[in-house]
């Protein structure tokens, strides 16, 4: 991991991570295992007010226990009147989500302006001689063909969502084929439960991390971690309760257009909102796409 990705996985800023490591005399490896340990230290310090050195000792002890352990007592006072009990299975599950999100969306903005990208003239994809589809429906169905199955199942399950990110950019004219379906979901209890049930059925697992960590795909997981990047047996999907720079489902829907593609009605985030979300992401890869998208606004 980069330092920025490591800090996001820990749910802390770079300064806190570096200062804590220095105070503990620990040389960080910036890998998944180290992030798991530091993330627990962060929780103990931030949420329970435990001194840093004591939190590190508790985290050391916890990392030696089985990952699927529940209700593990890791500390008590001499009188036995105070105990710290950890649900390690839930911690590891939530941490896996944080790592996946950091690896897939955790890059920070690089110094300088991103290079300007120009669209091919006359709708012809560069180097192919193939005319790019012109209508939003055509673009979604051709350039987003791999996501049609998931979109249809989301609709059949009556899940309320807005298409955001790369596929929304495609509908507006972007020439970049997205590698994951990105949606912003409505956060009612019923909608979250339906979405979690579907993602579990698709065997969703945090994308970009090694298999084997406990992961609980249920409505509690979505409520606890409202931004998750998942690999499923039907492809990659990123689900967000809130889109950076835009807002939650209600705001995304307000700033979306209704389109019909794959024989289903879809709410798709408008181009201006897509640009705002990519600017707010801080991800250098997405920032590089902004120039192309801005050229579409002007065309």
Q: For residue 122, what are the contacts with CB-CB under 8 A and spacing of at least 6? A: 131
Digit-coded pLDDT (tens) for 18-31: 889 888 888 888 88
Residue 191 has a pLDDT of 96
Percentage of residues of the chain with pLDDT beyond 70: 83
pTM of the prediction?
A: 0.66
Residues lower than pLDDT 70 in the chain: 69-82, 104-133, 210-212, 299
Q: Where are the alpha helices (DSSP H) in 112-261?
A: 136-143, 148-156, 165-172, 189-201, 219-224, 249-254
DSSP conformation class of 119? P
- What is the C-alpha to C-alpha distance for residues 276 and 271, in angstroms, rounded to an integer? 9
Query: Which overall architecture, per CATH, does domain 112-298 show?
Result: 2-Layer Sandwich (3.30)
Residue 269 has a pLDDT of 96
- What is the C-alpha to C-alpha distance for residues 53 and 47, in angstroms, rounded to an integer? 15
* Residue boundaries of the structural domains of the chain: 3-86, 112-298
């Amino acid at each position: 991991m980069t330092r920025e990705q490591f800090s996001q996985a820990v749910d802390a800023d770079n300064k806190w991570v570096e200062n804590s490591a220095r105070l503990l005399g620990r040389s960080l490896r910036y890998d998944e295992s180290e992030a798991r340990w530091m993330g627990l230290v962060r929780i103990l310090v931030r949420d329970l007010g435990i001194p840093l050195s004591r939190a590190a000792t508790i985290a050391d002890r916890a990392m030696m226990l089985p990952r699927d352990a529940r209700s593990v007592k890791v500390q008590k006072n001499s009188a036995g009147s105070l105990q710290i009990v950890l649900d390690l299975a839930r911690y590891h599950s939530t941490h896996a989500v944080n790592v996946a999100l950091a690896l897939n969306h955790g890059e920070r903005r690089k110094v300088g302006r991103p290079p300007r990208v120009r669209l091919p003239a006359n709708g012809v994809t560069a180097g192919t001689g193939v005319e790019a589809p012109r209508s939003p429906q055509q673009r979604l169905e051709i350039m987003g063909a791999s996501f049609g199955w998931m979109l249809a199942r989301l609709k059949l399950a009556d899940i309320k969502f807005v298409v955001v990110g790369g596929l929304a950019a495609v509908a507006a004219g972007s020439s970049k084929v997205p590698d994951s379906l990105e949606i912003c979901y409505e956060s009612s209890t019923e909608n979250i439960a339906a979405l979690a049930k579907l993602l579990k059925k698709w065997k969703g697992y945090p994308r970009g991390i090694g298999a084997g960590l406990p992961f609980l795909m249920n409505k509690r997981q979505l409520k606890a971690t409202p931004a998750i990047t998942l690999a499923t047996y039907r492809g990659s999907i990123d689900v967000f309760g809130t889109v950076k720079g835009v807002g939650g489902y209600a705001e995304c829907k307000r700033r979306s257009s209704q389109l019909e593609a794959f024989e289903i009605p879809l709410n798709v985030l408008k181009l201006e909102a897509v640009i705002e979300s990519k600017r707010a992401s801080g991800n250098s890869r997405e920032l590089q796409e902004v120039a192309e998208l801005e050229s579409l606004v002007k065309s």
